[in-house]
Amino acid sequence: MMKIPVLGLGTWKAGPGEVTETVKMAIDMGYKHIDCASLYHNESEVGAAVYSKIVDGIVNREDIFIVSKLWCTCHKKSLVKTACIKTLRTLNLEYVDLYLMHWPMGFQHGKKELPLDHYGRVIPSETDYLDTWEAMEELVNAGLVKAIGVCNFNHEQLDRLLRKPGLRLKPLTNQIECHPYLAQENLIKFCQDRDVSVTAYYPFGGSWKGVDLADDPVLQKIAQKHGKTRAQILLRFQIQRNVIVIPIAVNPQQIQEYMQVFDFELTAEDMNEILNLDKNLRLVTFPTTESHKDYPFHAEY
């Protein structure tokens, strides 16, 4: 089975003006995994950075693991390949290593990325994500992508996909929001028990009752104990759970800081203390889609 590099660079919310230099620096510092999506509107800049490093002989294409995502308005089977080819052209690549279904929810196809009705609710498509998956399997057969996976699937949706009659390819990963305030223990176990890896986005979390995760005294104590930053503790926490992690970095100091997580180990006591911070705090909730039949966060996990 293909392996995803355990530490990647997230590009969500990375501005078009800064992302090219950020990706270049990341590659120079040893990052092998770049996480992208068509929704982020910066894939041309990511592609330019990767291309420049290949041309300069810093890396070969095979050395870099590029991830992109299918947006919800392109779930209809006839639209999937077109969307993927558009992403490849934008990235200036012949293939991506991993192509993910960004959400299990299909939206009405059209000019708007988030089509809303007059009540402010998303307008769904009639597409079933199982049909979308069949079209994604075809992308692997066509050589446009090396592997496929999902994002934001709950355990019921993932189970339904894995039990799909005629399933040819299992998802390589389920990319989910995950940080100590949303530890996702049940979903991670469910995925890993079925040989589906987990990728954590938003690893630095947010605030709970006015306390930012980075300022949590438990993390401060553990960081001081190991002589590491709190960000490094949060990344190491995921890596020791066999969870892939994709922090967003925007400056050289952060890019380098996030790489320095392989020279220490959290103790079992450290891990338990961090897990005990779980507050089921979900930050990415996508409220305009809560009425969608495939909205993933109504399930317990």
Q: Are 60 and 90 in contact (CB under 8 A)?
A: no
Give the pLDDT confidence of 139-185 residue by residue, as tens digits: 999 999 999 999 999 999 999 999 999 999 999 999 999 999 999 99
Residue 135's pLDDT is 98
Report all structural domains of the chain as residue ranges with CATH numbers, in order of start: 9-295 (3.20.20.100)
145, containing H or E segment: strand 145-151
Q: Is the pLDDT of residue 234 over 70?
A: yes
Q: How many helices (H) and strands (E) does the chain have?
A: 10, 10
Q: Is 31 annotated in the active site? A: no
Q: Is the pLDDT of residue 110 over 70?
A: yes
Q: Which pLDDT band, with edges at 50, 70 and 90, does 67 fall under? A: very high
The share of the chain scoring above pLDDT 90, in percent, equals 95
State the DSSP code for 76: S
In whole angstroms, give the CA distance from residue 84 to residue 105.
17
Strand partners, 90: none
The rounded mean pLDDT for the chain is 96
**What is the average per-residue pLDDT within 193-214?**
96
In whole angstroms, give the CA distance from residue 292 to residue 115.
12
pTM: 0.97
The share of the chain scoring above pLDDT 70, in percent, equals 99
In whole angstroms, give the CA distance from residue 103 to residue 1.
23
**What is the average per-residue pLDDT within 108-136?**
97
18: how many CB neighbours lie within 10 A of its CB? 13
> Which member of 40, 129, 202, 258 is catalytic?
40
